[in-house]
């Protein structure tokens, strides 16, 4: 039964059936096929899965991000980043990474960051002769920073499902996010030494402090956002959900009264778009609630967990296998779906080896994000490719150095847990 369910699930997903439909149908079919299970549990578990105060952080941060993007913040950020690093070799590449790092403070999604920043940088990079595959890979991998530096949708989802402090995960993402930023900038820099990338050696103008100071007033609101959001969580004032509400009002005030680019009559459309983006995730969580209940009934976690724990009694070996498993699965299957279905297994393994829940959570978020940028099935690379206007195989050829940089960051967090845990353990007691 268990194997049949999983095979059907994978087959449906591979055939291009939307993830929410695939999971929902398998859950419903499985519950109906077992006469001892009450079919009423299907809608009941769907409801219960989304009935969570923690998950409310998701719509709030999505709405705040949408308001910021509509408000024209991404354009201003790109200009600001260019004045900071444009004079370096491969300046436009560095500016893309840097703009993403700042933008990550208002967005929680790597695909949204890839499209928001990438679509602004791509035309300019193209004009300077950057290769399409390089642009797509850079836009996608630096978009990942958007889901690592708080706020982060994946962290909200994982935290709510695994029962881990979302505020703690947010704070844990700061150093890994900065590390990825540094490693990606290093990757851009190293491209400059390669004979095939003469365009990355070019610089644009000189560094002028005056320009930085001129553009700073236009982006101060983006720089101030993390002070409010993270400061509130660090000081123990807000929960992540409340920080999300505050971020909404902050974004609303900024886009309506500071940038004046969003008007009252635009709000219904923005609310509707954000609601649908929210539901694309929460819909999967709802049906995964029903599937998860069915899988628990069929002892899925015990079986796979028992197999994993049987491989070795050492925590790090099992953790490595788990990470490798997640990595391979997310390369082929939509990464959020993998994370949602495997969360009980991850929690069980974490409990068995007494792993720090924030450390484990950050690793899982990072590995699913790397999966979302690793071919063949890589949401961020798809977005990047369409922005760069190149062919997908060009992107696949150029993406590996960037993915190596992300892997290096994952490895660093894996072997040195304080990267993920130091900030949350210092500030959250």
Q: Find the binding residues for another protein in span 234-263 (CB under 8 A).
A: 237-238, 241-242, 244-246, 248-249
- Rounded CA-CA distance 95/91 in Å is 6
> Tokens 């929902």 appear where?
24
- Rounded CA-CA distance 192/323 in Å is 32
Minimum gap (Å) between residue 396 Cβ and another protein = 12
Q: Which of 136, 234, 281, 331 binds another protein (CB under 8 A)?
A: 281
Site for another protein, residues 340 to 399, rule: CB under 8 A: 372, 376-377, 379, 382-383
Q: Specify the residue, 148 or 322, whose C-beta has the smaller distance to another protein.
A: 148
CA 35 to chain centre: 39
The reply on whether position 109 binds another protein by CB under 8 A is yes
Q: Specify the residue, 220 or 392, whose C-beta has the smaller distance to another protein.
A: 392
Q: Which of 9, 24, 187, 197 binds another protein (CB under 8 A)?
A: 24
The reply on whether position 134 binds another protein by CB under 8 A is no
Rg (CA), the chain: 22
- Rounded CA-CA distance 254/290 in Å is 40
The reply on whether position 291 binds another protein by CB under 8 A is no
Of the candidates 289, 281, 300, 290, the residue with the CA atom closest to the CA atom of residue 28: 290
The reply on whether position 328 binds another protein by CB under 8 A is no
Q: Specify the residue, 148 or 183, whose C-beta has the smaller distance to another protein.
A: 148
Q: Specify the residue, 69 or 85, whose C-beta has the smaller distance to another protein.
A: 69
Site for another protein, residues 54 to 73, rule: CB under 8 A: 55-56, 59-60, 62-63
One-character DSSP codes across 403-428:
HHHHHHHHHHHHH-THHHHHHHHHH-
The reply on whether position 200 binds another protein by CB under 8 A is no
- Rounded CA-CA distance 103/68 in Å is 9
Which stretch in 24-32, 73-81, 218-226, 312-320 sits in contact with another protein by CB under 8 A? 24-32
- Rounded CA-CA distance 81/74 in Å is 10
């Amino acid at each position: 039964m268990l194997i049949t369910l999983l095979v059907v699930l994978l087959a449906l997903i591979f055939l291009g059936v939307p993830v929410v439909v695939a999971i929902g149908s398998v859950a419903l079919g499985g519950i109906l096929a077992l006469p001892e299970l009450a079919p009423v549990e299907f809608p009941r578990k769907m409801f219960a899965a989304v009935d969570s105060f923690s998950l409310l952080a998701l719509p709030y941060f999505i709405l705040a991000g949408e308001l910021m993007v509509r408000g024209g913040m991404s354009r201003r950020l790109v200009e600001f980043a260019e004045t900071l690093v444009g004079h370096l070799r491969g300046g436009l590449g560095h500016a893309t990474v840097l703009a993403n790092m700042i933008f990550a403070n208002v967005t929680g999604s790597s695909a949204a960051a890839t499209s928001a920043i990438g679509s602004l940088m791509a035309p300019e990079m193209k004009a300077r002769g950057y290769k399409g595959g390089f642009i797509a890979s850079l836009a996608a991998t630096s978009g990942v920073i958007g889901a690592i530096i708080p706020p982060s949708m994946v962290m909200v989802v994982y935290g709510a499902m695994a029962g881990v402090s979302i505020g703690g995960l947010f704070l844990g993402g700061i150093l890994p996010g900065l590390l990825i930023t540094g490693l990606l900038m290093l990757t851009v820099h190293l491209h400059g030494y390669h004979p095939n990338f003469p365009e990355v050696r070019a610089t644009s103008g000189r560094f002028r402090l005056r320009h930085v100071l001129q553009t700073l007033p236009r982006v101060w609101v983006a720089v101030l956002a993390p002070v409010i959001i993270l400061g509130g969580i660090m000081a123990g004032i807000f929960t992540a959900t409340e920080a999300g509400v505050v971020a909404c009002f902050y974004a609303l005030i900024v886009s309506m009264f500071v940038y004046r680019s969003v008007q009252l009559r635009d709000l219904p459309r923005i609310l509707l778009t954000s609601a649908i983006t929210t539901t694309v995730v929460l819909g999967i969580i709802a049906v995964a609630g029903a599937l998860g209940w069915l899988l628990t009934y069929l002892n899925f976690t015990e079986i796979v967990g028992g197999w994993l724990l049987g491989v070795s009694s050492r925590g790090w070996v099992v953790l490595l296998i788990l990470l490798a498993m997640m990595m391979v699965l997310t390369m082929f299957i939509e990464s959020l779906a993998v994370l949602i279905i495997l969360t009980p297994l991850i929690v069980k393994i974490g409990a068995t080896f007494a792993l720090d829940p924030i450390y484990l959570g950050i690793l899982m978020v990072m590995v699913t994000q790397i999966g979302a940028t690793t071919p063949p099935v890589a949401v961020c690379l798809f977005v990047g490719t369409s922005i760069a206007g190149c062919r997908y195989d060009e992107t696949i050829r150029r993406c590996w150095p960037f993915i190596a940089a992300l892997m290096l960051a994952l490895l660093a967090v894996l072997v040195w847990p304080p990267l993920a845990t130091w900030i949350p353990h210092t500030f959250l007691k």
